[in-house]
Amino acid sequence: MDDMAALAKTSATEPAADRMLTLDDIEALAKGSWILGTGGGGDPYHNLLNMRRLYKDGYQVKLIDPMSLADDANVAVLSKMGAPLVGQERLPDPAMAVKSVRMMEDYVGRKFDAVMALEIGGGNGVHPMQVGALAGYPVVDADTMGRAYPEAQMTSVAVAELQCYPLTMADVRENEVVIPKAASWRWMERISRKVCTEMGSIAATCKAPRTGAEVKQHSIHYTVTKAISLGRTILEAKAKHSDPIEAVLRAGEGKLLFTGKITDVARRATEGFLRGKAEIEGLDGDAGKDMVVHFQNEFSVAYVGDEPVAMTPDLICVLDSVTGEGIGTDVIRFGQRVSVLALPAPSVFLTPAGINNVGPRAFGFDLDFKSVF
């Protein structure tokens, strides 16, 4: 009784938006993150498996409202960096994620008050949950991309020109790297990418720590909740046997771009990325047309014939036409029947500074950004 009373008292003093996530929430988060990952960020399945094991062992995650953070709170921004293909073979380990956080605490000499995701898309949307569970940090309901992107300067905090250093990187071997300073976000990207490639194109990273004030002003808010709700919509559509693609379009306020079958996939792991393109032969209403979707970890630009029909920062999602599941750039393959969707970009990326960092030219396409929406 005493314990129960104490528990009730504690929760009464906390902001209403803070809540303990259930395993069902995490399951829905994994589904929703995979859609928002636009083919990259890695399939959240392995992170989800880690979370199932942690929940089974009694660990839990508390999700907190970004607006409840004290201005001087110290927040860790976490991700697993690398090529998604590598993540299929070198499986994520919560202990590695925690290691990157401890390295930063040791380097800066200050404990973190909370952790958050660098990107809500793909496995990285679930990645900080492992740290939240295993090491007991609250997880902030926010991220810095609202989706997944391959490079360090492609974040809301980089667009706002916040400080890009220091950064810590943990490897499964006894390799630990701290980058104390970099001249810019792009330099941070280049230097950390080289280290990541040497580590096997996979590393657990803790990015430049953020203050509570910075998170409140410059992160993208409530994306964990958004991903959970997107995931729930898909799970509910499946349970009711209704069209999951339609459900994603509705929940994500998206547009259907193309329906077809994968006829060719060319991909290569280079410089710590997975790059390539997928060719899709149109079916149904798109019969007779062909789409090519380019990717650098994530899908970046989609063409029908010579016409670019969708481009970053709009989200380009390739989903299994039957199940509505996201299909990653690392597992997309010949013969799959897919629906290609666009979802709206976070508004921070639609500014000139945003387009400069994440628009089509940032991915090597000489195109002026034109939104699907």
Partner 1 sequence: MKRIGIDVGGTNTDAVLMDGEKVVAAVKTFTTEDVTGGVRTALKEVVAKAGDAATDVSAVMIGTTHYVNAVVQRRHVGRAAAIRVSLPASASLPPFCDWPEDLAGLVNGGVHLVHGGHEYDGRPVVPMDEAEIARTARQIRKDGITSVAISATFSPLTDECERRAEEILLNEHPDARVTLSSRLGRIGLLERENVALMNASLIDLADTITRSFVDAVAESGLDARLYITQNDGTVAAAEEARLFPVYSFASGPTNSMRGAALLAGIEDAMVCDVGGTTADVGCLINGFPREANNVVEVGGVRTLFRMPDLLSIGLGGGSIVASDPLTVGPRSVGHRLATEALVFGGTTTTCTDIAVAAGLLDLGDRSKVAGLDKRFIDAALARIHAMVGEAVDRMKSDATEVPLLAVGGGAVLIPDKVPGISEVVHVEHEAVANAVGAAIAQISGETDRIYRDMSREDAIEMARTEAVESAVRSGADPASIRVIEVEDLPLSYLPGIAIRTRVRVVGEAA
Contacts to partner 1 by CB under 8 A: 46, 49-50, 53, 83, 85-86, 88-95, 172-173, 200-201, 241, 264, 266, 268-270, 284, 320-323, 325, 327, 330-331, 333-338
- Measured CA to CA, the distance from residue 168 to residue 105 in angstroms comes to 10
Q: How far is the CB of 142 from partner 1 (least distance, A)?
A: 26
CB of 275 to partner 1, least distance (A): 11
- For residue 330, the minimal CB distance to partner 1 (Å) is 8
Question: Is the distance from CB of 265 to CB of 288 less than 8 angstroms?
Answer: no
Residue (135 or 160) nearer to partner 1, CB = 135
The least CB distance from residue 261 to partner 1, in Å, is 10
- Cβ at position 236, least distance to partner 1 in Å: 15
- Report residue 146 as tokens: 């609202």
By beta-carbon proximity to partner 1, the closer residue of 9 and 173 is 173
- What is the distance between the terminal CA atoms of the chain, rounded to a whole angstrom? 55
Write the burial class of residue 104 (CB in 10 Å: 0-12 exposed, 13-18 middle, 19+ buried): buried
| Between 194 and 370, CB nearer to partner 1 | 194
Residue whose CB is less far from partner 1, 144 or 336: 336
Q: What is the nearest approach in angstroms of partner 1 to the Cβ of residue 336?
A: 5
Tokens encoding 166: 């220091």
Residue closer to partner 1 (CB basis): 262 or 362: 262
Work out how close the CB of 241 gets to partner 1 at its nearest, in angstroms, rounded to a whole number: 6
> 158 or 338, CB closer to partner 1?
338
Q: Give whichever of 14 and 320 is closer to partner 1, judged by the CB atom.
A: 320
Task: Pick between residue 160 and residue 331 the one whose CB is nearest to partner 1.
Answer: 331
Minimum Å gap between C-beta 315 and partner 1 is 20
CB of 245 to partner 1, least distance (A): 11
Query: Which of residues 4 and 266 has its CB atom nearest to partner 1 in the complex?
Result: 266
Q: Give backbone dihedrals phi and psi of 211, rounded to 5 degrees, phi first.
A: -80, 160
Which one, 60 or 217, has the nearer CB to partner 1? Answer: 60
Cα 55 to Cα 373: distance, rounded to the nearest angstrom: 40
- Spell out the SS3 assignment of the chain: CHHHHHHHHHHHHCCCCCEEECHHHHHHHHHHHHHHCCCCCCCCHHHHHHHHHHHHCCCCEEEECHHHCCCCCEEEEEEEEECHHHHCCCCCCHHHHHHHHHHHHHHHCCCCCEEEECCCCHHHHCHHHHHHHHHCCCEECEECCCCCCCCCCCCHHHHCCCCCCCEEEECCCCCEEEECCCCCHHHHHHHHHHHHHHCCCEEEEECCCEEHHHHHHHCEECHHHHHHHHHHHHHHHHHCCCCHHHHHHHHCCCEEEEEEEEEEEEEEEECCEEEEEEEEEECHHHCCCEEEEEEECEEEEEEECCEEEEECCCEEEEEECCCCCECCCCCCCCCCEEEEEEECCCHHHHCHHHHHHHCHHHHCCCCCCCCCC
The nearest distance, CB 283 to partner 1, in angstroms, is: 10
- The pair of structure tokens assigned to 256 is 């259907």
